[in-house]
Amino acid sequence: MKSAVIVFPGSNCDRDMAVALEKITGTKPLMVWHQEHTFDTVDFVALPGGFSYGDYLRCGAMSARSNVMKEVIKRAEDGVPTFGVCNGFQVLTETGLLPGALMRNANLHFVCKDVRMSVENTDTMFTSDYAGDSEITVPVAHHDGNYFADDDTLDRLEGEGQVAFRYLDDINGAQRGIAGITNARGNILGMMPHPERMIEPAFGGSDGRKLFTSVMNRLG
Amino acid sequence: MKARIHVTLKNGVLDPQGKAIEHALSNMGFGGVDAARQGKFIELDLVETDRDAAHASVDEMCRKLLANTVIENYSIELE
């Protein structure tokens, strides 16, 4: 599986993502700088965590309008599996590829800890290997992870099985405890927690690993 | 021409920073503040001299970048 990690000024989980992808897929990902207009064909595009453009204006707002995102949006709309973690999730909502927005945590605290989540839908290309897992533990590290969307959108997300992950405890005020969602087509996933930081026991756990193996299995 | 843009959270969208400001004011002894909402103020210097054209252009800037209309409203003043 060939993958790409998009790197913005201020990304800081791009190397974590690259390590996870290389360890799990066996192939070093392409690191793509935000000023690029295009990049080699890949099977999987990852938008990493961090504080791209210093979170200026709104988290992810500047990155969503960068050169490289025009290409990422085009490929995601063509069906290329696209995965945004933390700041990457914020970028995906800012582009409109995923509905809703990530707002300041309701308690105003930066939250940095391992959190328990339920896998709400194991019938997606990102979650199929979690079938049978009642809960998983993955770290979060964010100040703006409070997922917001209007009630109609939330109802639609729930009804269509687009809620992929839900927090088991309220950590940031997210509407309906939403930690991660997919688009309607199912090829785009955005989530606040960091599965790439939980890929082997030496990292404190390996609950994040199945996300990447699910995609690998789907892509064959 | 100057454009002054106010971006505010929509009604019904929780504004935790506004809440914190409200509490801080109350703790400092300022009474009579029922609610505080925090927003952004953006000022642009425009080359355009036609008001209608300027308004249309700034409106598009707001929709495409300056405001996130999922959660925010904006208002434009031209001078």
pLDDT tens track for A16-60: 999 999 999 999 999 999 999 999 999 999 999 999 999 999 999
Told to judge if A194 belongs to the known catalytic residues of this protein, a careful annotator would answer yes
Closest chain A CA to residue B42: A57
The model's pTM is 0.94
* Phi/psi at A217 (5° precision): -60, -40
| ∠ CA A181-A185-A187, rounded to 5° | 70
* Residue B75 in contact with partner chain A when CB distance is under 8 A: no
Domains of chain A and CATH, by start: 3-219 (3.40.50.880)
The total domain count for chain B is 1
The alpha-carbon gap from A205 to the nearest alpha carbon of chain B, in Å, equals: 33
Per-residue pLDDT tens for B35-60?
A: 999 999 999 999 999 999 999 999 99
Domain range for residue B10? 2-78
Contact A148 B71 (CB under 8 A): yes
Selecting among A13, A34, A86, A94, the annotated active-site residue is A86
Q: Which residues of B touch A148 (CB under 8 A)?
A: 13-14, 70-71
Residue A203's pLDDT is: 86
Contacts of A215 (CB under 8 A, 6+ apart): A1, A44, A81, A83, A125, A126
Q: Nearest Cα to A210, choosing from A113, A139, A131?
A: A131
Q: Which residue has the tokens 């939330």?
A: A154
Two tokens, residue A22: 């290389």
Which residues of B fall within a CB distance of 8 Å from A58? Answer: 68
Structural contact between residues A68 and A134, judged by C-beta atoms closer than 8 angstroms: no
Q: Would you tell me which residues 28-67 of chain B have a C-beta closer than 8 angstroms to some C-beta of chain A?
A: 40, 64-66
State whether B20 and A108 contact (CB < 8 Å).
yes
Residue B54 belongs to a domain with what CATH number?
A: 3.30.1280.10
Q: Do B65 and A61 touch (CB under 8 A)?
A: yes
ipTM of the complex: 0.87
Q: Is A34 a catalytic residue?
A: no
Residue A171 above 90 pLDDT?
A: yes
